[in-house]
Amino acid sequence: MKIAIMAPLVTAIREPQLGGSQAFVSDLARGLAGRGHEVHVYAARGSAISGVTVIDTGADPRVLAGTLYRPRAGAGAASAAAGQAGESAGAAAEAAFAGAYAGMRDGGYDVIHNHAFDAPAVRLATALPAPVLHTLHLPPDVALTAALDQSARTSRPPVVATVSDFQAAAWRRVIGVDAILPPFVPTRLIPYRMEAGFGAVFAGRLSPEKGAAEAIGIAAAAGLPIDVYGDAYDEVYARDVIAPQRARPGVRIHGAIPRASLWTAMSGAAVVLNPVSWDEPFGMAAAEAQACGTPVVAFRRGGLPEVLEDGVTGFLVTPGDLRAAAEAARRAIGISRPACRAHAERHLDLELSLDAHERVYRMMTASSA
């Protein structure tokens, strides 16, 4: 099968990845190529995926920075952020996706799979000759909902997927959802450590909804040192809230690192903390941690209950309850690390996701024949 993947253009697809959707685009492309499919990833300038053909769309992530999704801004955040950054960001996004799709038109693709969370990426895809799948990695957004609704009314409506049951329920309030395609992780590549590790780890972009500050507070209350890994997504938050934490004993703050290095750090920890303050669409860091054999303590929000088995591979606590999270972090030493690894292998492995993607692709090509 010849497959075109439309990557998010707001960042390059390369290590260290900006977020879970970027990491999964890389995993998906490599996994499909490994199964014998011809895969082309249309991506921003500077992207690179080992073993996969990456087509440079010419999109400059710096120019598109105004379209970054901002969860705290509420519904329509992506388009609102673009407006605040000026009309140039929105016009640049429109031109970038138009150019990428123009390159796809004569590619002879069997399936086109869009992962970009931008209204133009959905709206402009209606003119493509191949069947189109849109995976929605983020919560409902006003502009994107309108574009999906418009595309659903065409003679060749796209297939729409989300990354978790929770997210599907949220999107189904406004549009139809055809499939759930979780961004599972490559457990076979992730190092597993059977012996209990030391300290806590937080991994994620530095923005309020991801909970880096809460993770630092939880670790301190639990009497654990913590390593924080992530780059600034919200510059003010990173500067005013996270940077001062460097002075606290037992707190080490690092920039984002390649995933292989992050997995090593996770596997050496006693617990990975995931105290999000938004409805996490999936929870890739929690899945990766369990593959490392490391238990997770998370707030019971969004898709995380689908990733973490409470009491078996970690603990889910009431959102915002830092005291309960600290107690859970102390108890994490009693969690079976082999059970964490086994759960990841059986329920969170990339091969399961590749199977699901291939089933959807086959359905799409059969329907368009």
Cis-peptide into 16, omega within 30 deg: yes
pLDDT bin (cut points 50, 70, 90) of residue 98 is very high
Per-residue model confidence (pLDDT) at position 78: 41
Distance (Å, rounded) from C-alpha 221 to C-alpha 237? 22
**Domain extents for the chain?**
2-184+350-368, 187-347
Is the fold of 2-184+350-368 the same as that of 187-347? yes
| 170 band by pLDDT with thresholds 50, 70 and 90 | very high
The pLDDT of residue 74 is above 90: no
Residue 8 predicted with pLDDT over 50: yes
Confidence of residue 72 (pLDDT cuts 50, 70, 90): low
Distances, alpha carbon 176 to alpha carbons 74, 148, 243, in Å: 21, 9, 42
The Cα–Cα gap between 245 and 267 comes to 24
Average pLDDT rounded to a whole number, residues 118-123: 96
| Whole-Å CA distances, 196 to 13, 171, 191, 193, 293 | 33, 39, 14, 8, 9
Tens digit of each residue's pLDDT (9 = 90 or more) over 282-299: 999 999 999 999 999 999
| 84-98, 114-128, 129-143, 197-211: segment of lowest average pLDDT | 84-98
CA distances to 222, 266, 369 from 249, rounded to whole Å, are 13, 20, 63
First to last CA, the chain: 14
Q: What is the mean pLDDT of the chain?
A: 93
Task: Using pLDDT thresholds of 50, 70 and 90, give the confidence band for residue 82.
Answer: very low
Record the tokens describing residue 214, joined without a space: 């809460």
Superfamily of the domain at 187-347: Glycogen Phosphorylase B; (3.40.50.2000)
Dihedral pair phi/psi, residue 14, rounded to 5°: -165, 160
pLDDT tens column, 223-249 = 999 999 999 999 999 999 999 999 999
The CATH architecture of the domain made up of 2-184+350-368 is 3-Layer(aba) Sandwich (3.40)
Q: How many whole angstroms separate alpha carbon 364 and alpha carbon 110?
A: 9
Give per-residue pLDDT as tens, 286-336. 999 999 999 999 999 999 999 999 999 999 999 999 999 999 999 999 999
